[in-house]
Structure 1
C-alpha cells in the first residue's frame, strides 16, 4: 500500500469516528439505483480522486466508492431543495423518496384594532298599567315605547280606562355602557406557507466491495443530477445547533416536518373612564296625542329600579305617554386588548450534511 492510499484510509477511519450517538429515528437507504460501468476516471467531483492512487479504492466497485455515513447519521442520499412547485421526481438512479421536509416558514400575525361603542343614556321602554293599587294586578296592560325611543308621543294601542288604571309601573332609564365593537378587518391569522421543499431520494448501495471498510460502493460515479446534492441525514431530530457535519459532508441544512400554530388575538375590552349621568321625565296623558291639557301624571325616572306609582285620578284614562331628558350625559371609555398572541414555529427538525455542489461551491 502506498503512502497516498494509507493517508486516505486513515482520514476515512477518522471521519467514521465523528458524529453523535446513533438513534434510528429514521432510515435513509443509500443511493443510486442505476448501475454504470464506471472505473477510476471521472471521480474528481467526490473527495476521493483515484488518479492520485496506485490502485482504485475498490477494485470490485464498478461505480464510486464514497465515505460511509458517520456514527449517528444515515445515507448517503440525493437531496433536492427549492420551491415546492419546482420539485422534481426522484431520479432513476435513486428512485425511492425517503424524506420530505420544508424550510423558509412564512406567516403573518396582525390583529385588528380594538374599538368600543359609545356609552348612552336610554329612555324607559314604556309603562305598565295595573287595575289595583301598588301595581299588584292581577290585570296588567302595557304601553310599550318603540326601540330607541326619543321621548316623542307614543299612543296606547287601546285607551286604558278607569277600571284598569289604579297604578302604573314606569321602567327605569338605562345607562348603556360601552362595549367592544366587531372588528372592521378580519382576524389577523393569515395563511402560513413554506418557501422551500426538501426531497431526499435513495437507491441501493453495494456493501463490501470497496477495499476500504470506511467506504461504500454507489453504482454510479456520475455527479448528482442538477439541483441535487449527495447528503447524509442525522438520525436524531435536532435544530442543527448540536450537530457537527463531517469534513466529507460539510454543508449543513436544516428542514422541518411541520409547524405549530398558536396564533390568536387577545380579546378586546372596554374600560369606563368617566361615568354616565342619566335621568328623565315621563308624562302620562288621557288622550292619544299627548295634549298638554290632558296630562295627568309626570314623574322623574333615574337608572334605579322600575318605579310604581298610584294614579289618584280614579276616573282618568291612559291614552299616551311621552318623555324628555332631565340629564343626558353619557360617560366615556377606553378600548384595550387586541394584542397578537402566540406564534408559528417550525417543528420536527432534521439535519442534513451535504457534499459541495459541482465546482466545489457550498449551497448557501
Structure 2
C-alpha cells in the first residue's frame, strides 16, 4: 500500500489551507486596488478645484464689499469720492484711505470789471482876451466891435477907433455907455491827458471740491469675469464705486455710467486794456473887468465872462483888464477800458461712477 503511505492528509489539509490563504489574499488586494482608484478620482477633482484664482468664495464678496465690473484699459480705479463745498475739507473714508486725485468743479469766475479815468494836466491859459461890444440891441449876432486885450492883468484903453455908433456923442474915442459887453471864450492851451486803468478781476475759485480716494491695497476677485470686490463706500464718501481718467472722456459702456467732469486747476488770462483819453479840451475861467478912468486910476465898474452879456447902462466905460483865469480842462477821448482774456477751468478729469 505504498500509495496510501504517500498520502498525508495533514499535508493536504495544510496545502489546502495555504491555497485558501492565497485566494483570500488575492481578493483583499483587488479590493485595495479598487479603493485606490476611487481615491485618485477624488484627488483629481480636488486638483481641478484648486486651479481657480478666486480668493475665498468666488460666488460673492464679503458683507463690506460689492462686486464691480473690471476697470477698463486706460482707466484708474476702483475709487470712491467725497464732495464738499469749497469752504470745507473733503476726506477719504474706510476702505478708501489713499488720496488719488484732488480736484474741483463749479468755477466761480469772480468779478471782472474794467475802469478808466482820464486826467488832463499841464494845460495853460492865454495871456490875451477879446472883448465884444454890441449897441443897444443886446448881445445877439456879430458884435459891433471887438477889442483885443493883449496883455494880461493890465488896464488898457478900449475907446480908440470905436465905431461912432457906439459912442454916445459919436466920437471914436469917447467913453461907452448904454452898450452891451461880453467876451470871447478863452480856450486852454497845451497839456496832456493821463490815463489810469482800474481793474477788478477775480479771484476765480471753485465752489465744490472733490477728493478721489483709492484702496490701500489690492482687491480680491469676484464672480464677474475679472471683476473685483470693492469696498462699499461709507460716509463721508459718496455712494457708488468709480473709475477715473485724466482729460475729458466719455464713460465706457457698462456700469460706470454716471459721468462727472472735475478739474485740477484754473487758467486766468483776464486783463484790462485800452483807455484812450485823447487830448485836453476846455476853457479858462477868464474874465474882463470893465473900468473907468478916475484921477488916472483904473476903477472897476463891472466884470464880464464868456457866459455873460452885461449892459453898461449909464456908466462911462473907457478901460478894460483881462484876467486869464485858470484852465478847466478835460479829455476828449472815450476813456473806456476793454476787457481782454478769459478764465476757465483746466487740468480736467473724468469721473465715472456706478449708480
Length-normalised TM-score, structure 1: 0.47
Task: Please say which structure displays the higher CA radius of gyration.
Answer: 2
Instruction: Tell me which protein shows more helix as a share of its residues.
Output: 2
